[in-house]
Structure 1
């Protein structure tokens, strides 16, 4: 049996407000809307982020997305109206930029730069 897809689920209470916010974050509308209260953005081949209307779990998710240029990613997101704040270096050799969606779910963009930062 082979794994074909992995989905990260971001639960929110106000689905429409969060949907609009994620459209700005990703720079496009959802790729799929499989059912009411669920939208999906394909972020890599075989990997997608799902936005789910689930008020009981809203704000409890964390998503880390590996990127090749954290500064460039933060700048591109800022151009779409979502300010991620400063990109920071970590002791483990990553440059990271993190932001919370309207529900409080945390999305982190992380660039592996090795341990020589």
Structure 2
């Protein structure tokens, strides 16, 4: 089996409000709107984040996005009006910052900085 694409789904109740929030988070409008209540941001080749109107599952998703520079990512998000809170180092060698969307889904940005030796 060859995997060609992977989609992470962020379920929300208020789709239009959440769409505006994700546009600020990603710094651009959705790349695709395949159907009513679904928006999609292509974040890497073969990988996309989908925003889905799904009140029954809203607020239960967790997404980790690997980035080159967590501090720069947090600063860019702050410039677009969203506060990620503190950037922190983990014992496992990652620099992370997290933010919750309006539904309560959590998006974490993580930078692999290696384990201090």
TMscore range, shorter length? over 0.9
TM-score (norm 2): 0.98
Shift of 1:2: 1.6
Structure 2: stretches of 5+ with no match in the other structure: none
For 1:72 and 1:89, the matched residues in 2 are separated by 15
Structure 1 segment 1-117 matched on structure 2, within 5 A: 1-116=1-116
Q: Report the secondary structure of 1:83's partner residue.
A: coil
TM-score (norm 1): 0.98
Structure 1: stretches of 5+ with no match in the other structure: none
Q: Report the secondary structure of 1:51's partner residue.
A: strand
Query: Structure 1 runs of 4+ off > 4 angstroms?
Result: none
Question: What number of residue pairs does the alignment pair up?
Answer: 117
